[in-house]
Amino acid sequence: MIIYRISFAELIGKIRKNFDDDKIFLTIVAFQLDGKHYSVSTFASDNIEHLLGWTALMQAKLISGETIKAVSVVLRVFLPKNHEVEIKGKK
């Protein structure tokens, strides 16, 4: 496992900066101190306006260390149907 030293709010900001809000689907799981899940939240184009407030709340809970111990982020990015990827010279 790799541990990066980046704030949660900064991570969410980088994701939103690099991908259009209408192309991302985020699933975020917050874990309590005992390792059990605290909340599962999803954000996509239909509710992305709530992400900023939610991120601020989770960032505060992470910093306080009283409720949340860790956060897992799953990012899905939707590509255009005609998108081609080249891997080792092959499409």
The string of pLDDT tens digits covering residues 41-75 is 999 989 989 988 998 888 888 888 888 888 888 99
The count of C-alpha atoms lying within 13 angstroms of the C-alpha of 85, restricted to the half-sphere facing its C-beta, is 4
Name the residue among 46, 56, 43 with its Cα closest to residue 16.
Answer: 43
The string of pLDDT tens digits covering residues 2-21 is 666 778 888 888 888 888 88
Three-state SS for 58-70 is HHHHHHHCCCEEE
Question: What's the token pair of residue 24?
Answer: 């991302």
Which of these CATH numbers, 1.10.760, 3.40.1350, 3.30.1490, 3.90.25, describes 8-77? 3.30.1490
**Domain ranges (residues) in the chain:** 8-77
